[in-house]
Amino acid sequence: MVPARGLPLLLRVGLRVVVVPPRLKGPREFEVLRCADSSSGQLVSLRDVDTIQEASELVGRTVLARVADLPEDLCLHDAQSLLGRDVRDVRLGEVGSIVEVMRGPANDVWVVEGSYGEVLIPVVPQVVEGVPKDGEPICVSLPGGLVETDVDA
């Protein structure tokens, strides 16, 4: 399975999902039994999908999950909602706007362009203080040396 709209891979063992459009016959809700990340998406095994024929009937369909079952920090990884958002550092003030969300093996990295040039911000709890929903600047606490300023020189 391939994530939609640049979202991270979100399926995990035990997650209940619905496939749309649903199959004409058979179950409409499934439980993820096994899940492995690959370079092209996730390899997923669903309860009640036991044959290659049953699996092939699901190709090209969309998998939905309940919002309550998604990770709490999803807003930190949703590239569509992050692009263009302003970023403000607690020490330096306005840093710029997010122009890209890079996926990494350990954490995402936001590419921010602004008055300090291009700044690569690691999306980790020690740096990102949260993402306000109402469009206010995202508050970060950048580690020393990440941005070259007159103060650093």
Q: Which residue ranges make up each domain of the chain?
A: 16-70, 76-140
Q: What percent of the chain is modeled with pLDDT above 70?
A: 87
pTM (two decimals): 0.60
pLDDT number for residue 105: 74
What is the tens place of the pLDDT at every residue in 44-55? 899 999 999 988
Contact (CB, 8 A) for 9 and 41: yes
- Rounded CA gap, 43 and 52, in Å? 14
CATH dotted code for 76-140: 2.30.30.240
> What is the separation of C-alpha 109 from the centre of its chain, rounded to a whole number of angstroms?
11
Region 58-69: what's the mean pLDDT?
A: 85
pLDDT of residue 152: 46
Q: What is the mean pLDDT of residues 86-94?
A: 94
> What are the distances in angstroms from CA 120 to CA 5, 26, 101?
21, 47, 10
How does pLDDT run across 99-147, given as a tens digit for each residue?
998 887 778 899 999 989 999 999 888 999 888 877 789 999 999 888 8
Please give the pLDDT value at position 104: 76
